[in-house]
Structure 1
Amino acid sequence: MTSAKLFVPIIAALCLAACNSAQPVAVAQAPAVATRSATPAGFDLPAGSGCANAIGRYRAIMDNDLAMGHVNQGVYATIQGEIDSAAAACSAGRDAQAVALVRASKARHGYPG
């Protein structure tokens, strides 16, 4: 067997190894750093009915979830925008619409209604 025939498989193997090693590797993003590991002892949700209380409860839950690291800053910002839309509807006297916006946001992000 000639030396040229021996080099062909070796070169082919090196080329394949180079192709396989050049593929990008996905890197997971680090989760938000939690400031606490449990809900504080005196944590109470606003009681009552109406859109203002529904919005207040959802805000309190989201603030707690962010502080515990259950949601990252990007998701928190998205939900805060949705809550702000509900608060604007509530302030304008559109209670049913505000409560519906809160319910839709909760459903979209996996929170119980």
Structure 2
Amino acid sequence: MRAFALLATLGVALAGCQTRPVAPPAPPPEQAYPGVTPSTFHMPGGSGCSGEIERFQAVMDNDLATGHTTKGVHARVSAEIATARSTCSAGNEGGAMGQLHATKTKFGYPG
């Protein structure tokens, strides 16, 4: 009988030592909602064709990061943006804006 009481006491004591599963840490905010732009995203400033070009490049980079476009499309659009950037740098504001507008239209972006 004493052995039974001792085993019962040990059983109760050991029951308190059971471990509970630990929940994994929460993912960083930018991974918490796949496909959603993180709160840290900011549009570049600037005016004229250079500002417009940098803002569109930022949109494309964000679309790639959030899975809204593929690497191949991003590369093609970025190449066209680079052409518009060169035109803008050469002082041809109208030509650069026209190239940027054509790229946006071609790939389904507004404006």
Q: Shorter-chain TM-score: which interval? A: 0.5 to 0.7
User: Secondary structure of 1:47's match?
Assistant: coil
Q: Which runs of 5+ in 2 are unaligned?
A: 1-30
User: Secondary structure of 1:81's match?
Assistant: helix
**Which residue of the other structure, out of 49, 52, 56, is the alignment partner of 2:54?**
56
Q: Give the conservation status (yes or no) of the 8 Å contact 2:35–2:68.
A: no
**Which residue of the other structure, out of 99, 102, 105, is the alignment partner of 2:100?**
102
CA distance in 2, matches of 1:78, 1:38: 23
- The aligned counterpart of 1:22 is none
Q: Find out whether 1:68 has 2:66 as its counterpart.
A: yes
Q: Which runs of 5+ in 1 are unaligned?
A: 1-34
Q: Structure 1, residues 39-94: CA drift from partner, whole Å, max 9, x if none?
A: 11132212343010010000000000000111111111100110000000011001
Q: Percent identity?
A: 46
Corresponding residue pairs, total: 79
What TM-score, normalized by structure 2, do the two folds share?
0.66
Q: Find out whether 1:43 has 2:41 as its counterpart.
A: yes
Q: Which amino acid aligns with 2:50?
A: A
Q: Which amino acid aligns with 2:58?
A: A
Q: Which amino acid aligns with 1:105?
A: T
- Report 1 or 2 for greater relative contact order, CA contacts < 8 Å, sequence distance ≥ 6: 1
Higher-Rg structure is: 2
User: Secondary structure of 1:62's match?
Assistant: helix
CA distance in 2, matches of 1:87, 1:78: 14
Range 46-55 or range 103-112, more displaced: 46-55
